[in-house]
Amino acid sequence: MGLLLVLLGLTPVIQAQEAGDSPKSSELSVYIDCQSCDYDHIRREITFVNYVRDPKPADIHLFITFVNTGGGGRQYELSFIGRREFKDIEYTLNHVVDREASADERREGLNEVIETGLAGYAIQVSEPSMFRLEYLGGESEQRSDQEVEDPWNYWVFEIYAGSLQLDLESSQKEFDSRWGFYADHVTDEWKIRIRPYFNYEFVEIDREGKDEPVTSRRHRHGINSYVIKSLNDHWSLGVFGDYLTRNDRNYKHRFRLTPGIEYNIFPYQKATRKSFTFTYRVGYAYADYYEKTIFQKNSEHLVNQELTASVRIKQPWGEVQGGVEGSHYLHDFAQRRAEMFGDVSIRLTEGLSLSFYTRLEMIQDQLSLPIGETSLEDVLLQQKELATDFSIYGAISLSYTFGSDFANVVNTRF
């Protein structure tokens, strides 16, 4: 443990001459693979390496991912993957950012960890006198083995007004508001959330030659909550409860209580990079409708079960997410739904990348559809759900980048 603390406490302080923009053959070539990093800031601040735009000519492939922590911060995982003459040197550093850290503090802290990881490689190809290593241990090391005393017992609360939008035109008015509250408790053993939310949308459109405008009022209010217990590295139990009132889905009131169990083929500790989960849920629901449904129901009690299999892989060659889900109501197996989705982004070869997303739903469980005709105004203003047997969505993109391998220059003008 002491050795690990020493390694994480080493920080290179560059004593070299001011780096120019042109590449130097004696410097490391680094490819940064990170979707949430300030790439320009990294290149400006860390100048003792060359930056390349593709992993093939790189000496080091730096692969960075993160997960949100229970306290509202982030935990970054930085994998330094040696290539070419460093192909046998690979290690991973972790870095935790507090939720109260500013954007500048987050990127500065991440830069320090990047410098730490690159120093071990850089000193092998550069003049050692260009670096000074400082040990930043001390009190933090002494506290590392002590249990943290948290007066909030790992509860985090957030009140938000996420969206308050007003759009006024001579013949049209729109107002959209979203607000709510989060209460989260996350430890290694428990994951708990209570989240009430309130969404309201108003649209008014003047019609030429008509005295009365067309108006639309949609609301979606409710509470989401869950309690999840960690059983071991692969199994979890959970209970999910929610309440919903939503006029465009014909729900005056809907209550659901759903226990479930999940199995992850990979240990949960590897979830930032790969997971393959199977989830089973079975639950009770009570629905009270604004209008009588196509099944002649004003309210009903329901029992539903669902099975989901999903995979998520984030590796230096790309990212893959996908899954299948099936569900049905126990009182009538014909009331069912099946869904398949896939989101793939891969690097095929140097400079060539492929991304595609697809989603397919087979829908036969729209129990809340109101009886009667749906007006054109309701359709255009999305005030009522429409009957459908399926939903298909797809997107694909292909990009090819070629030219100079180097990406050292930072120019932020305009």
pLDDT digits (tens, 9 = 90+) for 268-297: 888 878 899 999 999 999 999 999 999 999
pLDDT at 72: 72
Rg of the chain on CA atoms, in Å:
27
Give the burial string for 159-187 (b: 16+ CB within 10 Å, else e).
eeeeeeeeeeeeeebeeebbebebebbbe
How far lies 265's CA from each of 269, 315, 320, 338, in Å?
11, 17, 16, 23
In sign, the C-alpha dihedral spanning 264, 265, 267, 273 is negative
- Bridge partners of 357? 343, 395
pLDDT at 26: 52
Residues 390 and 361 sit within 8 Å (Cβ to Cβ): yes
pLDDT at 381: 75
**Ranges of the chain with pLDDT below 70:** 1-26, 70-71, 127-148, 406-412
DSSP secondary structure letters along 147-199: PP--TTTTEEEEEEEEEEEEEE-SSEEEEEEEEEEEEEEE-SSEEEEEEEEEE
Q: Which of 156, 223, 158, 160 is nearest to 184 (CA)?
A: 156
Amino acid at site 163: S
pLDDT at 133: 64
Amino acid at site 71: G
Query: How do beta strands 60-68 and 28-33 pair?
Result: parallel
Residue with tokens 């990212």: 319
- Bridge partners of 259? 239
pLDDT at 134: 67
pLDDT at 221: 97
Calculate the average pLDDT of the chain: 83
14's CB contacts (< 8 A; 6+ apart) are: 47, 48, 130, 131
DSSP-assigned letter for residue 386: P
Between CA 130 and CA 18 the distance in angstroms is 11
Domains of the chain: 2-143 (3.40.50)
Condensed to tens digits (0 to 9), the pLDDT of residues 145-180 reads 445 677 888 888 889 887 778 887 778 888 999 999
For the whole model, what pTM was predicted?
Answer: 0.73
Helix (H) or strand (E) holding 343: strand 332-349
Residues 376 and 383 sit within 8 Å (Cβ to Cβ): no
Between CA 124 and CA 127 the distance in angstroms is 8
Between CA 369 and CA 292 the distance in angstroms is 8
- For residue 171 the two structure tokens come to 């013949």
Helix (H) or strand (E) holding 39: helix 39-45
